[in-house]
Amino acid sequence: MNTIDAYWMIVVSVSVLLALLSMREYHLLAQLPPAHPDRGSYWFNVCLLILASGGLLYGGHYIDIGRRTIEALIAIPPSSRYAIERNAVIHDATWVYESGEREDEIRSFYREYARAQHMTFLEDDHDVVRMSFALPSGLLFLTLHTEGKKTVLYFSRVGEIRTATL
């Protein structure tokens, strides 16, 4: 099972659990007499749990839509994984992937990809871990950063290339 499947399995499982707890609270509410003073707290619990279940599904979809957006724009190296834990914080125009490959392997992957797609590809001479791709929807920047044994790929719509080579 890949990380995206595991992510959705956890999101849906917790959401179903919250919905079941909401139904339990509703069942307990139905057993109370109409004038019981605790009816309001049961109604509050029912509404809160239903909203939490829906909010969790919406939040899960919001985080996952970022992955689908970037993968529709550009190819991702096969060994890379979408870093859900990092993308939950920065989502707007930045996407983060992690890879076990070295920086030079990832750079060569994108050089070949840009050539095959007849895409304008710029590489920063000053800082070789920054690349830019000219896509039909605008520029896309890639910054590579090594953290221990893994390489982190930061895709962004905002950036600049100081000194470029084609």
Instruction: Give the mean pLDDT of the chain.
Output: 85
pTM of the model: 0.70
> Which range, of 38-42, 113-117, 126-130, averages the lowest pLDDT?
126-130
Q: What is the pLDDT of residues 41-71, one digit of tens each?
A: 999 999 999 999 999 999 888 888 877 877 7
Helix axes 3-31, 39-73, angle to 10 degrees: 160
pLDDT above 70: residue 164: no
Instruction: Enumerate helices (H) and strands (E) in the chain, giving the number of each.
Output: 4, 7
Residue 150 pairs in a beta bridge with: 147
Asked whether the beta carbons of 132 and 122 are under 8 A apart, the reply is yes
Spatial distance between the Cα atoms of 57 and 51, rounded to a whole number of angstroms: 10
